[in-house]
Amino acid sequence: MKDPITFADVLSARKTIAGHVIHTPLRPSTALSEQVGSPVWLKCEQQQYTGSFKLRGAANAVLRLSDAQKAKGVVGVSTGNYGRALAYAARNAGVRSVICMSELVPQNKVDGIRAQGAEVRIIGRSQDEAQHEVDRLVKEDGMTMLPPFDHADIIAGQGTLGLEVIEALPDVDTLLVPLSGGGLLAGVALVAKSINPGIRVVGISMERGCAMITSLQEGKPTAVRELPTLADSLGGGIGENNQYTFDMCADLTDDFVLVNEAQIADGIRAAYHDDQQVIEGAGAVGIAALRAGLVDNPGQTVVLTTGCNIDMALHKRIAGGEDVDLMAE
């Protein structure tokens, strides 16, 4: 692990990205509060520019580049939301961006990235395969790789989401954080434990191919097979040479929860009907876990609803009550 990321780094990131991101609302969920028996709040990060929390880290990383790095451009691998955020941040800074993705990334997310002005390259059927093209562009074109999670500036930027939550609700008991590569979980947990070690931080992911939880169980970064899932933004590996997020998630997280596809669909549906929020599968896993009774004694809880970039035809099917299984399609 490189030099550790500190609470001061998150405070610095907040200054860097001020004016480049939205301070998103924290709103109570009456339906979830009644079901759980304690107050539940939604941190509506799906209302962020580009439709997900990823802009916080991407903006922080791009704005901290040197002029020489900006001149060469940035490249990254993405399952969709990070690519959109990096493209947006790069375009606003006048920097060329190339986003590499696997064939499993939904077309609406590919189109969203192109709309932000990035060059898109579809490589293979996994994030690890797409990473090979990133490595080539770094070596041959001198571009700067900004990974979606395992990077100090990315993690510090994502941590600003935790700052907003705890400053608005200092007596929060439990934070439910979607988990993929761990950049968000690492940043938010760092902030929570720095301010109040008693805050419970729970990482939540999908049963179909959660690389971080598998890696933590194995005691080292471990590759998993990527499968179609409603929580597509949580797909991908954590990298064999993980520098930050593996250790930070292991050290700072209290619990981990896995939800299945039916539970994710239920979370998407409930967010729409009960709270009038359009939330993608990855952003709905916290709601899914609460509704399935997978979080014991949560107390005053904040669910990070982290993205809204779902194909709207798919959302309509789920909201309408259809039993959607992407493995069968």
- Dump the DSSP string for 82-146: HHHHHHHHHHHTT--EEEEE-TTS-HHHHHHHHHTT-EEEE-SSSHHHHHHHHHHHHHHH-PEE-
> How many other C-beta atoms can be found within 10 angstroms of the C-beta atom of residue 214?
16
Higher-pLDDT residue of 267 and 1 is: 267
Q: Would residue 279 count as lying in a domain?
A: yes
Is residue 86 domain-shared with residue 188, that is, in the same domain?
Answer: no
Mark out the alpha helices in the chain (DSSP H runs). Answer: 7-17, 30-36, 54-63, 67-72, 81-92, 107-115, 127-141, 152-168, 183-195, 211-218, 245-252, 261-275, 285-291, 312-319
Over 90: is that where the pLDDT of 50 sits?
yes
Q: Would residue 187 count as lying in a domain?
A: yes
Q: Total domain count for the chain?
A: 2
Query: Which two three-digit tokens encode residue 195?
Result: 């301010």
Is residue 195 domain-shared with residue 214, that is, in the same domain?
Answer: yes
User: Please, are residues 231 and 281 in contact by the beta-carbon 8 Å criterion?
Assistant: yes
Quick: pLDDT tens for 312-323.
999 999 999 999
Q: Which of 111, 145, 179 is the last residue of a domain?
A: 145
Is residue 281 domain-shared with residue 200, that is, in the same domain?
Answer: yes
Q: Which of 120, 145, 170 is the last residue of a domain?
A: 145
Q: What type of residue sits at position 266? A: D
Quick: pLDDT tens for 232-269.
999 888 988 999 999 999 999 999 999 999 999 999 99
Q: Kindly report the CATH number assigned to the domain that includes residue 316.
A: 3.40.50.1100
Is residue 199 domain-shared with residue 114, that is, in the same domain?
Answer: no
Q: Would residue 2 count as lying in a domain?
A: no
d(CA 249, CA 148): 16
Is residue 25 domain-shared with residue 65, that is, in the same domain?
Answer: no
Q: Would residue 210 count as lying in a domain?
A: yes
Radius of gyration of the chain from Cα atoms? Answer: 18
Over 60: is that where the pLDDT of 169 sits?
yes
Structural domain range at position 257: 7-52+151-328
Q: Which of 85, 115, 145 is the last residue of a domain?
A: 145
Is residue 319 domain-shared with residue 182, that is, in the same domain?
Answer: yes
Please spell the DSSP secondary structure of 141-177, one letter per residue: H-PEE--SSSSHHHHHHHHHHHHHHHHH-TT--EEEE
